[in-house]
Structure 1
């Protein structure tokens, strides 16, 4: 049976798949939601299958819809890029907008961006570490670096690394207290806390240290690791932070690790982008550079 579908219908399908919303797709295409609904109905009727599962609040791709989207998103992106090239709309320098959490941006990413700029002088990176985090699905963002479980529906996801928690303190602070030879020695010292005051409690428990007085949850708390590292460098106490955040401070001698007793974490960092953007040259270049930088990280 010969199936004939217009580019308008297929383009409408791609936009609805991108936004998981007929309303948002209509805004993107400059048409009414009714027109979008009609085009989706045409595609589903011609193909003889449901492409979206719908509920009162949202819609998402079925297995057949996902298969069709995988085949269409790159060709449509290539068409768009070709039109932009023809109209000379692209700037001389490609912009790459990256959103991530403030701690990752300030403690790890930003100090290394100079390397990327030297390798790719034509790619201009813009880092967005605003809180709350930018929604990659609906904002003009190319890449999100997220700390979580890796469950980002509808996105192209690559695992970057799984951090571990390490104990750090300034050389001056460590010289002023009794030697730390085992995890239990830390319990008698000032402890800098994470926002929820759970990391030290978990760390002591994992290393078999009893804490009958609840000392592990006491001390000044901080909203993110970058602030806690600054406090540790200022000799305010011991900090328990993700190793990836402590690398620069350790390299510069601002802090050191007094006890070899790290703790693995359950969440990882992920490189997340829209499927239709995953093969873009600037995004591929940035992902490959990140993976290469992570591969040469010191083993703390």
Structure 2
């Protein structure tokens, strides 16, 4: 009798069907059929076992790269975030993060999962916003109009490039955006809300924290080639420097790296967007604000001149008239966090 042979093909196990031959005890192979006894079994996670808010916890953890950071963003405890991520890993059957002494390291599975999860969450937010916008109760004559005031640098570097996303999220809303360096008062100046950059604590308004910010020296790739390579942060003193009027400037940055009496000359601009444009044109190194330079760093238009970052004492805030409930402004804040301050 021929030995029993199993064939593996296309992830299925096949077993032979044989017929005994007369006289010699041997068998003739007639055909193959799938073997239920040896077929591989895979456990596919059910979507019923993955609550939607768990995916929100995963998205926030990938954005913050820490349980504590995600907890602060979601206004929950760090242990709650840790437990949600652990349960998600158990349902999926894969590890999403390596727990290291100084933070989290996402696995390759987590990075691939994020590519699917984040767009799906954005589509859900967009769909919810479209429905909620239709039903938002607002003062007569302003049901479908959103009037905002934005800082000039933020308007030109981030808001302008995200207007298509706004239109997709709020197809029924007429946006009126003003740009002014002045400290606008939403009640006095007729705005539904304003985006301010400062330390907070303004009287007479409700202020909601949108994002922190860091500053680091950036310049064009060509300038770095011409003056580099750098062997220390102090080497930046021989670069042409560009200044603006932001709270973190060259004096603060050089002090943080132990350089005393740094140079003070160079180009000076009151608008950070213009200062960044001058740096991109190769005119010098500027202290780049993290929320304004993200796109230029991603495209390679600007590069870090030295990797030392300095936390700004100012943050971005959403300011609205005190005690005025506004469903459309609430939805706008969600969009800002998703698109501008991600």
For residues 145-164 of structure 1, what are the structure 2 equivalents within 5 Å? 145-164=195-214
TM-score, length-normalised on structure 1? Answer: 0.63
Matched, 1:237 2:276: no
What is the CA deviation profile of residues 251-298 of structure 1, one whole-angstrom value per residue up to 9, with x for unaligned ones?
222111132101001111101111343x322111100111223563xx
Q: More strand by proportion, 1 or 2?
A: 2
Aligned to 2:295: 248
Distance 1:158 1:90, change over 3 A: closer
Matched, 1:289 2:339: no
Distance in 2 separating the partners of 1:293 and 1:99: 17
Aligned to 1:186: 236
Gaps in structure 1 of 5+ consecutive residues? 1-80
Distance in 2 separating the partners of 1:138 and 1:155: 11
Aligned to 2:270: 223
| Pair member with larger Rg | 2
Distance in 1 separating the partners of 2:251 and 2:146: 40
Distance 1:183 1:280, change over 3 A: same
For residues 14-163 of structure 1, what are the structure 2 equivalents within 5 Å? 84=140, 89=141, 94-163=144-213
Distance in 2 separating the partners of 1:228 and 1:198: 14
Ranked by relative contact order (alpha carbons within 8 Å, sequence separation 6 or more), the top structure is 1
Distance 1:106 1:229, change over 3 A: same
- Would the aligned equivalents of 2:210 and 2:317 in 1 still touch at CA under 8 Å? yes
- Would the aligned equivalents of 2:247 and 2:313 in 1 still touch at CA under 8 Å? no
Distance in 2 separating the partners of 1:171 and 1:208: 25
1:280 pairs with 310, 326, 331, which one? 326
Deviation at 1:140? 1.5
Distance 1:83 1:259, change over 3 A: closer
Aligned to 1:261: 308
Deviation at 1:173? 1.1
TM-score, length-normalised on structure 2? Answer: 0.56
Deviation at 1:198? 6.9
Aligned to 1:25: none
In structure 2, the residue corresponding to 1:179 is in which secondary structure? coil
Distance in 2 separating the partners of 1:207 and 1:227: 26
- Would the aligned equivalents of 2:159 and 2:340 in 1 still touch at CA under 8 Å? no
Deviation at 1:83? 8.2
In structure 2, the residue corresponding to 1:235 is in which secondary structure? coil
Distance in 2 separating the partners of 1:238 and 1:256: 10
Distance in 2 separating the partners of 1:198 and 1:270: 18
What is the CA deviation profile of residues 139-160 of structure 1, one whole-angstrom value per residue up to 9, with x for unaligned ones?
2101110011211223221101
What is the CA deviation profile of residues 231-269 of structure 1, one whole-angstrom value per residue up to 9, with x for unaligned ones?
001100111121111112222221111321010011111
Q: How many residues align?
A: 206
Aligned to 1:175: 225
Gaps in structure 2 of 5+ consecutive residues? 1-136
Matched, 1:165 2:215: yes
